[in-house]
Amino acid sequence: MSVIKAENISFVYSPGTAFEKKALDNVSFEIEEGEFVGIIGHTGSGKSTLVQLLNGLLRPSAGKIYLDGKDIWEKPKKIRNVRFRVGMVFQYPEYQLFEETVYKDISFGPGNMGLDEEETDKRVRKAAEFTGLKEELLEVSPFDLSGGEKRRAAIAGVIAMDPDVLILDEPTAGLDPLGREALLSQIADYHKVRKNTVMLVSHSMEDIAAIADRILVMAKGKKYMLDSTANVFAKGDELEKLGLKVPQVTKIMMMLRKKGINVDPAVLTVDQGFNEILNCLSAR
């Protein structure tokens, strides 16, 4: 059974006012348990709205969202339980840090869940480990951390709730390439160990290319496609028309194909590109 199912969901901001804006229009999809799904789209494509609907921060104007087959808005008073199960890491999450120590900040979520001290402690340490935060940093004020460490601490704060579905909205925005790479591999490792569902929103396809099983492409508030990563990247032309940037190596393959050279267009990383060219050369 799918862990998350969206059924014809639409969302309108400030309905009935001059600022009325349709952000999502009749979107349906299903996400299987344990999947790693990338969500890409242009700014304003509705991807950020979509993820806020999935964990009940926004309520759809129309349509239903099911978590394990249950409508999440069946009991609006219990929506907090949905938020614990569908963890959400916002863009620039370091701006939410507020406690005296990193440890206390990470335990904010588990505390709100009403977990006892022992369980909270276990989860905080586990979450710090997952995100690569060093043990000694737990007793430091979050405001004394470096930019990258703050980001990790904030993500740990959500992971500590041990959600069944983890959603990350642009987790690497503003980081330098080293930080970006390290964080992405940490997320991939977390997914491998915890075996839960992870959804990663990004407009940088390079981020998603190497780790996502499937990719949901959003455009103008609608689902443009939802397919395996390789299949989505094979349609590089269409993605570029949507204003999305494909990785440079994918673009090189696309351009080679246009020149009549038969290479696989679904190349996502330099490694794959290198092997593909070698294959081509040895096949001749």
Partner 1 sequence: MVRDITLGQFMPGTSVIHRLQARTKIILLIALIVFIFLCKNFISLLLITLFSLLTILMTRISFFKYLKSLRVILFIIIITGLFNLFYGSGVILWQWWQLTITLGGVYNALFVIVRIALLMMVSAVLTYTTSPTDLTDALERLMKPLTVFHVKVHEIAMMMTIALRFIPVLLEETDKIMNAQKARGADMESGGIIKRVKALIPVLIPLFVSSFRRASDLAMAMECRCYNGGKGRTKMKVSHFKLNDLFAAIISVTVFAGVIVCNILFPAVI
Partner 2 sequence: MKDFIKIENLYFQYESSEENENRSYALSGVDLTINKGEFVAIVGHNGCGKSTLAKHLNSIYLPTTGDVTVNGINTKDDDRIFEIRKTVGLVLQNPDNQIVAGIVEEDVAFGCENIGVEQKEIRKRVDNALKAVDMYDYRLHSPDKLSGGQKQRIAIAGIIAMEPECIVLDEPTAMLDPQGRDEVMNTILRLNKEMGITIILITHFMEEAVLAGRVIVMDSGKVLLDGTPKKVFSQVELMKKHRLSVPQATELIYRLRNCGYELPDCVLDEEECVQALEKLLK
Angle at the Cα of 222 from the Cα atoms of 217 and 226, rounded to 5 degrees: 35
Of 7, 50, 20, 8, nearest to 218 (Cα)? Answer: 50
252: part of which helix (H) or strand (E)?
helix 248-258
Nearer of residues 99 and 181 to partner 1, judged by Cβ: 99
- 113 in contact with partner 1 (CB under 8 A): yes
Write the binding mask 167 to 206 for partner 2: x where contact by CB under 8 A, - elsewhere. Answer: ------xxxxxxx-----------------------xx--
Give the range of 55-63, 217-225, 227-235, 250-258 binding partner 2 by CB under 8 A: 250-258
CB 14, CB 22: distance < 8 Å: no
Nearer of residues 8 and 243 to partner 2, judged by Cβ: 243
CB 205, CB 245: distance < 8 Å: yes
Cβ 197 to partner 2 shortest distance, Å = 25
- Measured between alpha carbons, how far is residue 191 from residues 10, 17, 272 in Å? 29, 42, 22
Q: Residues 192, 241, 243, 279: which binds partner 2 (CB under 8 A)?
A: 243
Question: What is the rounded CA–CA span in Å between residue 247 and residue 268?
Answer: 7
Nearer of residues 46 and 93 to partner 1, judged by Cβ: 93
- 146 in contact with partner 1 (CB under 8 A): no
Tokens of 56: 């009940």
Question: What is the rounded CA–CA span in Å between residue 273 and residue 220?
Answer: 31
Q: Residues 1, 14, 43, 116: which binds partner 1 (CB under 8 A)?
A: 14
Q: Residues 46, 56, 110, 148: which binds partner 2 (CB under 8 A)?
A: 148
Question: What is the rounded CA–CA span in Å between residue 148 and residue 209?
Answer: 22
- 130 in contact with partner 1 (CB under 8 A): no
Question: What is the rounded CA–CA span in Å between residue 117 and residue 155?
Answer: 20
- 245 in contact with partner 2 (CB under 8 A): yes
Angle at the Cα of 188 from the Cα atoms of 80 and 224, rounded to 5 degrees: 70
Q: Residue 83: which of partner 2, partner 1, none does it interact with, CB under 5 to 8 A by kind? A: partner 1
- Which residues of this protein are in contact with partner 1, per CB under 8 A? 14, 17, 19, 52, 55, 57, 80, 83-84, 87-88, 90, 93, 95-98, 108-109, 112-113, 143, 157-158, 161
